[in-house]
Amino acid sequence: MTAELIRGTVVAEQIRGEIAAETARLRETRGVVPGLVTILVGEDPASQSYVSAKSRTARELGFHSVQHTLPASTSEAELLDLLARCNADPALHGILVQLPLPKQIDEQRVLGAIRPEKDVDAFHPVNVGKLLLGNPDVLPCTPAGIHELLLRSGTELDGAEVVVVGRSNIVGKPIAVMLAQKAPGANATVTLCHTRTRDLAAHTRRADVLIVAAGRPKAITAEMVKPGAVVIDVGVNRVGVTDKGKARLCGDVDFDAVREVASKITPVPGGVGPMTITMLMRNTLRAAQRAAG
């Protein structure tokens, strides 16, 4: 069996069309333009390219897009001051602080200083708590993107065995919580694995749906996958340079071998990655819609 590809690029394009249409409607009916501010501290090249992609996508969708680039020496007080101004600005519905932050700045204090209504990354403790309670206003972007890929590829989740590899606060833990909720499009039996899991393969081989966010190239081999499973590869690992001088990327799954065992699989690049930015845009649109009543 050669697995069908779940093409995040195509699904993301479709959802961006939906967002652009809703954005135009919001502007025409309520005079409201969704506003997104991105804040980058320092000059990390990967962070720079993520932030400029986010700002560019926001502009393409017809959003009001503001980008702040601060020097690496910025103090926590200066960043908190900027956040206070963004919190108070009615033209900004979403605030995104690009992580990681320089070490003199306390990440949790900064994330906690964003008004929960403007927290389009869904990292504020209030939004994390609401997600756990099954009553979220906003979903974290990468897990929301994974969920959309599962739903739009017709993957059965109700009663399914889902195994998540990786327990980070931004991917593993929230997707595990989302899929375990007592709700339509969820109701899965979820196992959350990590580096202290005793026999990883014994768990992954039971999975109807295997979601991998470990940050380890080829951590998942064909022998670790149940025939017919749906495999979502979240990993983005830089493993060299292409002929064009760009970073060569690979996921956490041994794609060529696992493709022969799984029924559906996401490629890297072109799988989960394009969905993450798209979900950020959808969160910003929803924040603007809520602000407009």
Q: Where on the chain is the footprint of ligand NAP (CB under 6 A)?
A: 142, 165-168, 170-172, 193-197, 200, 213-216, 219, 234-237, 272-273, 276
Helices 172-180 and 141-152, packing angle to 10 deg: 50
217 vs 128: CA distance, rounded Å: 29
17 vs 30: CA distance, rounded Å: 20
Shortest separation between residue 100's beta carbon and ligand NAP, angstroms = 10
Shortest separation between residue 158's beta carbon and ligand NAP, angstroms = 25
Q: Specify the residue, 98 or 142, whose C-beta has the smaller distance to ligand NAP.
A: 142
Q: Specify the residue, 110 or 236, whose C-beta has the smaller distance to ligand NAP.
A: 236
Neighbours of 239 (CB within 10 A): 10
Q: Are 18 and 45 in contact (CB under 8 A)?
A: no
Q: Specify the residue, 190 or 272, whose C-beta has the smaller distance to ligand NAP.
A: 272
Backbone dihedral angles phi then psi of residue 63, each to the nearest 5 degrees: -85, 160
98 belongs to the catalytic site: yes
Q: Specify the residue, 58 or 82, whose C-beta has the smaller distance to ligand NAP.
A: 58
Q: Are 233 and 271 in contact (CB under 8 A)?
A: yes
14 belongs to the catalytic site: no
Q: Specify the residue, 131 or 213, whose C-beta has the smaller distance to ligand NAP.
A: 213
**β partners of residue 193:** 165
Q: Specify the residue, 34 or 267, whose C-beta has the smaller distance to ligand NAP.
A: 267
Shortest separation between residue 194's beta carbon and ligand NAP, angstroms = 4
Q: Are 48 and 40 in contact (CB under 8 A)?
A: yes
Shortest separation between residue 269's beta carbon and ligand NAP, angstroms = 8
108 belongs to the catalytic site: no
The catalytically annotated residue of 118, 119, 121, 226 is: 121
Shortest separation between residue 238's beta carbon and ligand NAP, angstroms = 9
Dihedral angle computed from the Cα positions of residues 202, 208, 213 and 214, in that order, rounded to the nearest 10 degrees: 10
The catalytically annotated residue of 14, 44, 48, 54 is: 54
Shortest separation between residue 217's beta carbon and ligand NAP, angstroms = 9
The catalytically annotated residue of 98, 173, 226, 254 is: 98
Q: Are 219 and 177 in contact (CB under 8 A)?
A: no
Residues 6+ apart with CB under 8 A from 232: 6, 146, 149, 150, 209, 210, 211, 212, 265, 266, 271, 272
Helix (H) or strand (E) segment spanning residue 37: strand 35-41
158 vs 183: CA distance, rounded Å: 9
Catalytic residues: 54, 98, 121
